[in-house]
């Protein structure tokens, strides 16, 4: 059985509105695992998080990670909360 997971990256900010502006997901070659890809999550051209393949799924790496929240429902959803880049 294959389970589909949805992962959302949420930016926490004190500003309302326009928070999703200038957000990019870039698919890049993985620097350590040849033949694999990774995804860069950038805001305003600044690297915020990396999403990498992992033996059991995926790994999200970020120095801006504030928390993780699992939302009920189908498909299962994980929200990764990221603080604002200064």
In tens, the pLDDT along 31-57 reads: 877 888 899 999 888 899 999 888 888
- Phi, psi (rounded to 5 degrees) for 41: -105, 115
C-alpha 20/C-alpha 51 separation (Å) is: 19
Distance CA(80)–CA(21), nearest Å, equals: 18
User: pLDDT value at position 51?
Assistant: 92
- Residue 20 DSSP one-character state: T
pTM listed for this prediction:
0.68
Q: Please say whether the beta carbons of 58 and 65 come within 8 A.
A: no
Q: Tokens at residue 63, please?
A: 């120095």
Q: d(Cα 21, Cα 56) in Å, to the nearest integer?
A: 32
């Amino acid at each position: 059985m294959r389970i589909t997971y949805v992962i959302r990256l949420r930016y926490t900010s004190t500003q309302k509105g326009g928070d999703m502006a200038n957000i990019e997901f870039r698919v890049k070659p993985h620097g350590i695992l040849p033949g694999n890809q990774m995804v860069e999550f950038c805001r305003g051209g600044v690297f915020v998080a990396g999403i990498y393949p992992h033996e059991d799924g995926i790994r999200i790496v970020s120095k801006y990670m504030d928390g993780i929240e699992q939302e009920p429902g189908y498909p299962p959803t994980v929200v990764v909360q990221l603080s604002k880049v200064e």
